[in-house]
Structure 1
Amino acid sequence: MAEILKRNKALAVNPLKASQPVGASLAFLGINKAIPMMHGSQGCTAFGKVYFVRHFREPVPLQTTAMDQVSTVMNADENVLLGLKAVCEKSKPALIGLPTTGLSETQGTDIKRLVKDFYAANPEFAHIPIVPVNTPDFTGCMESGYALAVKATLETLLPQHAPHPNPDETTSQSTKPASGQVAGYLPPAGEGANVKSNVGRRKKQVNVLAGSFLTPGDIEHIKELIEAFGLRPLILPDIGDSLDGHLTEMESSPLTVGGTPVSDISSMGESIATLVLGNSLFEAADFLKEQTGVPDYRFNSLMGLDAVDGFVAALAGISGKPVPEKIERQRAQLQDAMVDSHFMLGFARVAIAGDPDLLYGFARLVTGMGCEVVAAVAPARATILQEVAAEQVAIGDLEDMENAARKNGAQLIIGNSHATESARRLGIPLLRAGFPQYDLIGGYQRLWVGYRGTRQALFDLANMVVEHVHPETEPYISIYSQRTGDAAHFPHPCVDVAALAALQPRPTPCGCNPLPQAGVPKAGNPLSGKPDVELTQGTNAKSHLGEVCRATPATGQTH
């Protein structure tokens, strides 16, 4: 169990955290014909819009209640009511997400009451579901805001099963709004009666609660895996359909294009099973199971051989079909990649910074390959952090990650694009993962999960180690292959140049010069580094390496 280190600073240096309203907006962007409307200032929404556009490189629909200094002090209720009415009239959305921000939360806004007031004043819009969710950005992180929005969506759109103390009481009252549902919008009539008896009505439909750590590429691959077993996935939220980067005939749209249809969400109680991907969504899964009775299968991560094996085994059990040969082939390919890459990744020291679910998944992946997580940082607390494969997990920012990585000699960093400068200062490579990735084309579409995604992640990590971590061995140069004069220019690491210079030969009694005087140098020998010397006629034979001559033709003297 990892030790959780509390934040010990009064400020964030090089922040790692993205706010809860941004996470909630991402969840709403995965619903078809929806639009998030942040209750806060224009700057709050502008930041979120730029954040998403830089990451996905797509136009993103976001609205704001545009609180200013007057409405902040006096009252901003009118901003919400007028904003909702304008969006309903002009855009005609299938769903409106209404996350709060730090400004409106500090003001003390009762966001659910405002939605009730809107429905009371505008009954003609009662068919449009509005999902209010409290997401102050001074607590939590992007992941927690995303999870809160998913749960709020289920509370609003699912037919509510309200238990009654009297078993003889009719079930016709079970469709009334429960504590989490906003009065004004109700699910389609008739679908809520005796909700739990509808389990399995759609024999091929499988619910999938997709965590915020999954990319559009991950969502697409998860669909392929589920469909390979003859099942129909109902994914909430489905950013793999709305934010996958595809061209449409429309030049622009005020609403999301693609995603989970609102009508499908109301039918989640008729599925045969629910797959919950990410520990952060376990609370939403508890609500879904309590209201519908649909059995669920929960997975903290889908990275690594063991994690994917569990997911595939669950699909085989739900469908009653054997694992397709194609998936078995992908598993064998991952095993081969593990064999190929473990030589490079074994004992590598890794630093990881990210939201809790992402941090947990990567830590399990790299430690499973023999790496050591020497720095693990998350922006906010979560129950899954205690299970991270590291001795310590710090609640902090990228400065904390950088300091821990420097102290413990990290060789690799896994984090978002904000960690680029930390990696540069440390002189180690960065594997970009998570939100945002604004300096990498296609990073939002990267596949991380499943056998294929895990395989590619191992290849990328191993290549970084080969390229950056293990320096090339310098060629050995013998001291006997160099001229004495060249030693100062091409010193050997094992040779003391000053001592070698002191050993240079002196002129001999016969008057021989250690270096040739009448030689004409030719092209040098590329292997030894010595220039060949052509001696002129009548010149004593002398070595160009500084060795004294053995005989002098004039006197016959030897020395």
Structure 2
Amino acid sequence: MSATQLSQSVAPTARAIVSTDTFKHSPALGAALALLGVKGSIPLLHGAQGCTAAAKVKLVNHFLEAIPLATTAMDEVSTVLGGEENIIQAVLALAKKSQPELVGVCSTALTATRGDDLAGAVRLLRKQQPQLAALPICVIESPDFMGGMQEGFAAAVASLLQTFAEPGAIIAGQITIVVGASLAPGDVQEIKDLVEAFGLDALLVPDLADSLDGHFAASASTAVAQGGVTVERLRLAGRSEQIVAIGASVLPAARLLAERCERPLVSFDHLMTLEAVDDLIRLLMQWSGRAVPERYRRQRRQVQDALLDTHFYFGHKQVALALERDLLTGVEAFLRSCGASIAIGLTPQMGDLHQLEQACGDVDLLISSSQASDLAGRMGVSLYRLGFPIVDRLGNGLRVSVGYGGLLNLVIGIGNQLLIDELAVNDFSSA
């Protein structure tokens, strides 16, 4: 069953007037997260200070890292009269103080509703401040009414590719991989390692693996993103031998890049089943002319063994999902491949956790972010944490849920939780 079919099966009969327990996040937060995958970048949220503060708190709590975010600090007067001048002054201050390699200007609901012209403000900045002519700047429309975190992330990826990627001579062995918001930094590193194991050069857009994976940075500065793909590499994204999109949300951006630069495109909704990873492995073999490295052959056999060991615990289990759409699609496919059933699946655009609780019958497991911990307690089921934000577990920048290694983590992690729950119900300690 696809995510679209899921939405039809769980959509409430009467749309709620107000959301009472939402797990939706601002598109501006998603756009900022994508920009943090570019080395030396600063996301600049054009709106009130509270919009930036809320996004920063969530990102810091999830990654436990310093998060560079800036704001144009709109007040009552600039909100009424227009905030384009705030953008100019904010970029000037950032250029002087932080010397960023990229400034990403993201709209919020406040400024988008008024109709502030972000691109026009950047053009005026270039005209008034010629000394900033070489400063890379991209503009992202990410108001709250355009969707959620996933949509904002995809909008930022589209802007990065449209602004910087240029056609040109093909770079042999280079593969551009456009990734969506469902992939954690650990996932991005897993994909990068897999591609490079075949002797290919992986160009990830964006590359969160180097910026939010949790490591001591060589520089003490936290004013800009400390890792990620460079702007210079972004300019080469359209010159790869192949372009790969991972996640339906970023497929339109990858397709535009492929069409503009006349490059072949391959897309994956997810890399969370053996079949999907096998398909990618076959393509890498074809593109590189190399055999599969032994480490991945062994990992695949480990996944097969783990599936055999856990199939009694997954079989016929009813699972409820509350995740962003790309991640929901992958987790749904993974669970079905393990023999579990999806009792209900919800995305932030389809409803809130209160509606899920009302529509959900008896389930064996809930998979969602930390926001669903109270719901899991009320339902009397265990919560397996995936997605954003996760604030009551460590190592979120290192989590891996894709590739053979990620599948092994999921099978063992979820399988152990189901096993613990089963042992709790069938207590043999007094036997």
1:474 & 1:262 partners in 2: Cα distance?
A: 60
1:256 and 1:474, CA in 2 relative to 1: closer, same or farther beyond 3 A? closer
Identity among equivalent positions (%) equals 37
1:456 & 1:33 partners in 2: Cα distance?
A: 32
Structure 2: 5+ residue runs without aligned partners? none
1:139 & 1:273 partners in 2: Cα distance?
A: 30
Q: How does 1:334-345 map to 2 (within 5 A)?
A: 334-345=303-314
Q: TM-score, normalised by structure 2?
A: 0.95
Of the candidates 249, 252, 256, which is equivalent to residue 287 of structure 1?
256
- What is the CA-CA distance between 1:73 and the residue it aligns to? 1.4
- Tell me, yes or no, if structure 1 residue 399 matches structure 2 residue 354: yes
Deviation per residue, 1:58-80 (Å, 9 max, x gap): 11100000001111112212111
Any idea what SS the aligned residue of 1:109 has? coil
- Tell me, yes or no, if structure 1 residue 243 matches structure 2 residue 208: no
Structure 1: 5+ residue runs without aligned partners? 160-194, 381-394, 478-559
2:97 & 2:298 partners in 1: Cα distance?
A: 51
Deviation per residue, 1:486-539 (Å, 9 max, x gap): xxxxxxxxxxxxxxxxxxxxxxxxxxxxxxxxxxxxxxxxxxxxxxxxxxxxxx
Of the candidates 352, 361, 366, which is equivalent to residue 321 of structure 2?
352
> Residue 385 of structure 1 aligns with which residue?
none
Structure 1 counterpart of 2:190, one-letter code: H
> Residue 50 of structure 2 aligns with which residue?
43
Q: Contact 2:62/2:390 (CA < 8 Å) preserved in 1?
A: yes
1:253 & 1:208 partners in 2: Cα distance?
A: 27
2:297 & 2:429 partners in 1: Cα distance?
A: 45
Deviation per residue, 1:333-383 (Å, 9 max, x gap): 111111111111000000001100000000011011111101100012xxx
Structure having the higher Rg? 1
Q: Contact 1:416/1:432 (CA < 8 Å) preserved in 2?
A: yes
Any idea what SS the aligned residue of 1:234 has? strand
Deviation per residue, 1:135-158 (Å, 9 max, x gap): 111230100100000001111112
- Tell me, yes or no, if structure 1 residue 217 matches structure 2 residue 170: no
1:257 & 1:81 partners in 2: Cα distance?
A: 24
1:277 & 1:154 partners in 2: Cα distance?
A: 15
Q: How does 1:111-126 map to 2 (within 5 A)?
A: 111-126=118-133
Q: Contact 1:20/1:143 (CA < 8 Å) preserved in 2?
A: yes
Of the candidates 420, 423, 428, which is equivalent to residue 373 of structure 2?
420
Any idea what SS the aligned residue of 1:461 has? helix
- Tell me, yes or no, if structure 1 residue 29 matches structure 2 residue 71: no
2:359 & 2:399 partners in 1: Cα distance?
A: 28
Q: TM-score, normalised by structure 1?
A: 0.74
Of the candidates 400, 403, 413, which is equivalent to residue 450 of structure 1?
403
Deviation per residue, 1:448-477 (Å, 9 max, x gap): 111111112111111111211451156899
1:332 & 1:226 partners in 2: Cα distance?
A: 19
> Residue 145 of structure 1 aligns with which residue?
152
1:242 & 1:474 partners in 2: Cα distance?
A: 47
Structure 2 counterpart of 1:62, one-letter code: L
* Larger helix fraction of residues: 2
Any idea what SS the aligned residue of 1:438 has? coil
Any idea what SS the aligned residue of 1:298 has? strand
> Residue 115 of structure 2 aligns with which residue?
108
Q: Contact 2:161/2:237 (CA < 8 Å) preserved in 1?
A: no
Structure 1 counterpart of 2:129, one-letter code: N
- Tell me, yes or no, if structure 1 residue 431 matches structure 2 residue 384: yes
> Residue 96 of structure 1 aligns with which residue?
103
> Residue 311 of structure 1 aligns with which residue?
280
Any idea what SS the aligned residue of 2:397 has? helix
> Residue 8 of structure 1 aligns with which residue?
15
Any idea what SS the aligned residue of 1:203 has? strand
Q: Contact 1:157/1:266 (CA < 8 Å) preserved in 2?
A: yes
Q: Contact 2:84/2:117 (CA < 8 Å) preserved in 1?
A: no
- Tell me, yes or no, if structure 1 residue 55 matches structure 2 residue 55: no
2:336 & 2:420 partners in 1: Cα distance?
A: 20
Q: Contact 1:428/1:469 (CA < 8 Å) preserved in 2?
A: no
2:388 & 2:362 partners in 1: Cα distance?
A: 25
> Residue 271 of structure 1 aligns with which residue?
240
Of the candidates 399, 412, 417, which is equivalent to residue 464 of structure 1?
417
- Tell me, yes or no, if structure 1 residue 75 matches structure 2 residue 29: no
- What is the CA-CA distance between 1:33 and the residue it aligns to? 0.4
> Residue 154 of structure 1 aligns with which residue?
161
* CA RMSD, 1 decimal: 1.5
Structure 1 counterpart of 2:300, one-letter code: R
- What is the CA-CA distance between 1:443 and the residue it aligns to? 2.5
Q: Contact 1:347/1:370 (CA < 8 Å) preserved in 2?
A: yes
